[in-house]
Amino acid sequence: MARPQARATRPAPARARRYIYWFGGGRADGRADMKELLGGKGANLAEMARLGLPVPPGFTISTEVCTHYYAHKSSYPPGLKEQVPTALARVEKTVGRRFGDPEKPLLVSVRSGARASMPGMMDTILNLGLNDQTVEGLARETGNPRFAFDCYRRFVQMYGDVVLGLKPETKTERDPFEIVLEEKKRARRVELDTELDADALRELVGEFKGLIRTRKGVRFPEDPEEQLWGAIGAVFGSWMNERAIVYRRLNAIPDTWGTAVNVQAMVFGNMGADSGTGVAFTRDPATGENIFYGEFLMNAQGEDVVAGVRTPQPIAALERENPKVYAQLAKIRRTLERHYRDVMDIEFTIQQGTLYMLQCRVGKRTALAAVRIALDMVRERLIARDEALRRVEPESLEQLLRPTFDAKAKDAVVAAGRLLARGLAAGPGAAAGRIAFHADEAEARAARGESVILVRIETSPEDLRGMAASRGILTARGGMTSHAALVGRQMGKVCVVGCEALLVDYEAGSLRVSGRDVVLREGDEVAIDGSTGEVFQGTIPTAPSEVVQVLIERTRDPATAPVYQMFAQLMKWADQVRRLGIRANADQPDQCADAVAFGAEGVGLCRTEHMFFGEGKLGPMREMILAETPEERRAALSKLLPFQRVDFEGIFQVMQGRPVTIRTIDPPLHEFLPHEEPAQRELAAQMGIPFERVRSRVEALHEFNPMLGFRGCRLGIVYPEITEMQARAIFEAAARVRKAGTPVEPEVMIPLVGHVKELMLQAAIVRRVADAVMKQEGVRFRYLVGTMIEVPRGALTAGEIAPVADFFSFGTNDLTQTTLGVSRDDAARFLVPYVEQFNIYPRDPFQSIDQEGVGALMKLAVEKARRVRADFKLGICGEHGGEPASVRFCHAIGLDYVSCSPYRVPVARLAAAQAALGRD
């Protein structure tokens, strides 16, 4: 009333909110870009319907209903109860069948569909609408009672499982429906399900219903409407089942998104020899090659292909089987790629010779495929370069750097007859490790530090954690789109599937190979090649990837390395658009060389303490620590000086004038001393000092919370002679390299500064030594003195610190520890449940920057520093520097560079490019 103008422009409110979106018959309420509301499946069904593709009609119940469902104690919003029958009536009208009609019954599927793909995570019900009356109608109509009762028994089984919750109660218990089915087959003396006749199936339906009554105390609902609401509730309920929750955690999908529910008229791929079902990718999802890639099974329902129970035929075989349908499908392939400008993953069913499209979505792919597809599509003018950069998941690039088997070693293993079998190459890379037959066992072995290959007949969502813990995954059954292949690929695991020669016996805990006299047991070694599908007995040394061979080993000519060339092209484009500089954390010359090869523009963190563990250095280091006077300490330090100088010379040499940020000593001194008595006695003997002195020094250095103890610049302040020695080593090395004609750019970084005076004291030493050395060596070069911002006080007082610092580098590992009050070493006990069970942090804050907390401090520090100098130099050198979301955050808050481990440099380059392109 107070705002008549606003009211005038608002549409009149609908009586009830719309929760149902129609698709089918060439029309749809939804569109591909409505994934948030309709889920991926629903949005794409709508889009396909709009494109005129043959989509069975149906409707999508929006994700808003799911949100309401969880916010209101599993109840539906007002209006839904009326909207569902209306939409159902439209389906009835479109296909000319009626729900519950004993003559011409409408059957529907009820499927979940979330905003992001969560394959196999949630529940699906097929053939809904069948009951004791309608099954007879279906039998009469199709003239195929066996088909009708097969549909019915599958429906009752699914409904019993998904809606009524009749499942195995323990992990070892078998599916109770399967037990009854096996029993029936034994009684009928047949081997396969398909050998059971209509009568047997009719009996099975009765027995399944009896099982439900006995075990769950409820009757199977005969009323199709009751069935439908039960199925809708079960799908919404499956959003919060455990495996879905775990999957979302692993894939950073928020719980709040919710799922949509798709109700769609059934079509049947199991109506006989002229029916079938299949899945396909518009290009090869493993290599990216521009070929139509897929599999189909005749006389089967959709889930049979994905479940990997029967191994399907390649899509090319469909051309012989049914040329008309194949041609139609090939046309759809082109239509979809043109329309979506991306590789699509489709599901189709052929019902008595007629093609139906059941699903399409953007296809998941390996890193290699992602790169190739992106580059090819630019060449094909389907997408622009920027889009190509956005298309590749930065994290996935690490796969391109992953090792393959050493070629000679592999040849030898083959020659020795240890190539056991060949399966489908489902996840590239090479892995060797010990066999685990169960996910639990895989987790346990991985926790003990073993490299594990998870070997399964087939995998299921229950195996998720075990898969995540394994180095490689090997299955005996299933195709390229089986659970193991899809999920394994997505996790970036080395993966070989459908290796049918393998005979896995879970009970005996053994793996035999058909036709070979080999028995492998849990814990035995196998090696798998996810790029060729080969499976080997024993272990094989791995060899670097093609990219690594070209860049790091320099053992391969780039001209003959196609993968390298694609990688290089993408990196070149990335470098053209990114604003962030990319540096690497590297402590030794060889690491620096790797970093430069991967595209690092400097060293963002050189940890000097690692140097003290080197040959000949630990002795003087310990002398220094055991010193009782500044004089003794100086004497020990003077022994360390030449070692450090040589280390730095090597680094400056390799870096050829690129900036090198060297951090002065950081860890607490007790890390350099032995903690067990025998080692202490040995040290005392070596140094010719009393054991007591060693022991008492170790005791004196003991700390309750070493993370918050006597470390970082605190060491250099109390023992300025340490900083002095390190500064001298750095500047003498720089001077020598400079005098030999190579430019140098040293940046000395003081760790753990919380108060500006700490930096003042340490910087004064560094600058004094720098001046003295340059004078003494008769050479001048630019150098910087800056600090790490890694305790909250440093960030909070950045405005005071900035005037005396040449740069800041955020040490987000320690900054996360102190800001959250969480010790990384001790966090597992609560941080794992915090992320996985309680959803307190969306991701592990030590992997991806906690933007709300740690990020807020970083922003504050950036603002304060830039108020001091608008061009104040800022970087990050915590491990977050190579994690894409964190890189994007660093871009957003205006850092100058990120620094990460050398092998993460390509990931950071691409993430930085995406950040510049505005990907969030």
For residue 349, the one-letter residue type is T
> Quick one: how many helices (H) and strands (E) in the chain?
37, 32
Q: Does residue 835 bind a second copy (CB under 8 A)?
A: no
Q: Between residues 617 and 755, which has the closer beta carbon with respect to a second copy?
A: 755
Cβ 529 vs Cβ 430: under 8 Å: yes
**Residue of the chain from 191, 507, 517, 825 that contacts a second copy (CB under 8 A):** 825
Under the binding rule (CB under 8 A), the answer on residue 67 touching a second copy is: no
Select the residue interacting with a second copy from 792, 813, 844, 919 (CB under 8 A): 792
CB of 756 to a second copy, least distance (A): 9
Alpha-carbon gap, residue 433 to 423, rounded angstroms: 18
CB neighbourhood size of 352 (10 A): 13
Coil vs helix vs strand at 438: coil
Q: Under DSSP, is residue 126 helix (H, G, I), strand (E, B) or coil? A: strand
Q: Which one of residues 282, 301, 475, 819 is an interface residue with a second copy (CB under 8 A)?
A: 819
SS3 call for 347: strand
Nearest CA among 129, 111, 362, 121 for reference residue 260: 111
**Shortest Å distance, C-beta 585 to a second copy:** 20
Tell me the closest approach of the beta carbon of residue 173 to a second copy, in angstroms.
22
Mask for 663-682, x = binds a second copy (CB under 8 A): --------------------
Which C-beta is closer to a second copy: that of 596 or that of 788? 788
* Sole binder of a second copy in the list 519, 685, 856, 892 (CB under 8 A): 856
**Residue of the chain from 724, 850, 883, 896 that contacts a second copy (CB under 8 A):** 850
Residue 833 contacts a second copy per CB under 8 A: yes
**Least distance (Å) from a second copy to the CB of residue 849?**
12
CA-CA distance, 815 to 750, in Å (whole number)?
Answer: 15
CA distance 744 to 432: 43
874 near 894, Cβ under 8 Å?
yes
Q: Which amino acid would we find at residue 315?
A: I
Q: Total residues contacting a second copy (rule CB under 8 A)? A: 50
Do residues 654 and 598 touch, judged by C-beta distance below 8 A?
no
By CB under 8 A, is residue 848 in contact with a second copy? no
The residue (of 687 and 827) whose beta carbon lies closer to a second copy is 827
The amino acid present at 858, given as its one-letter code, is M
**Per CB under 8 A, 314 contacts a second copy:** no
Stretch that binds a second copy, among 321-329, 394-402, 558-566, 748-756 (CB under 8 A): 748-756
Q: Does 718 bind a second copy (CB under 8 A)?
A: yes
Q: Are 100 and 224 in contact (CB under 8 A)?
A: yes
Phi, psi of 629 (to 5 degrees): -135, 160
Give the x/- contact pattern for a second copy in 490-529, rule: CB under 8 A: ----------------------------------------
761 belongs to the binding site for a second copy (CB under 8 A): yes
646 near a second copy, judged by CB under 8 A: no
CA atoms within 13 A on the CB side of 234: 24
Per-residue DSSP letters for 730-796?
HHHHHHHHHHTT---EEEEEE-S--SHHHHHHHHHHHHHHHHHHHHHHT-----EEEEEE-SHHHHH
217 makes contact with a second copy (CB under 8 A): no
Query: Would you count residue 444 as binding a second copy (CB under 8 A)?
Result: no
Decide if residue 721 touches a second copy (CB under 8 A). no
Shorter beta-carbon distance to a second copy: residue 51 or 857: 857
Closer Cβ to a second copy, 185 or 714, answer by number: 714
Q: Binding segment for a second copy among 78-86, 482-490, 615-623, 821-829 (CB under 8 A)? A: 821-829
Residue 818 binds a second copy, judged by CB under 8 A? yes
Q: Which residues contact 776 (CB under 8 A, 6 or more apart)?
A: none
Q: Taking CB under 8 A as the rule, does residue 113 contact a second copy?
A: no
- 98: which DSSP letter? B
Would you count residue 851 as binding a second copy (CB under 8 A)? no
With CB under 8 A as the contact rule, the residue among 572, 757, 775, 869 that binds a second copy is: 757
Q: Is 793 in the site for a second copy (CB under 8 A)?
A: yes
Q: Does 821 bind a second copy (CB under 8 A)?
A: yes
Q: Looking at beta carbons only, is 288 or 754 nearer to a second copy?
A: 754
Burial class of residue 740, CB neighbours in 10 A (0-12, 13-18, 19+):
exposed
CA-based end-to-end distance of the chain: 40
CA angle 427/430/436 to nearest 5° reads 80
Query: For residues 331 and 315, what is the distance between their CA atoms, to the nearest angstrom?
Result: 14
898, 565 Cβ separation under 8 angstroms: no
Token couple for 655 = 């870096």
226, 462, 703, 771: which one binds a second copy (CB under 8 A): 703
Q: How far is the CB of 239 from a second copy (least distance, A)?
A: 19
**Residue 889 beta carbon to a second copy: minimum distance, rounded to whole angstroms:** 15
Helix axes 691-701, 677-687, angle to 10 degrees: 120
Task: Tell me the catalytic residues.
Answer: 483, 877
Q: Which residues does residue 808 pair with via DSSP β-bridges, in sequence order?
A: 787, 874
- 765 interacts with a second copy by CB under 8 A: no
**What are the residues binding a second copy (CB under 8 A)?**
703-710, 712, 714, 717-718, 752, 754-755, 757-758, 761, 790-793, 796-797, 800, 814, 817-823, 825-827, 829-830, 833-834, 838-841, 850, 852-854, 856-857
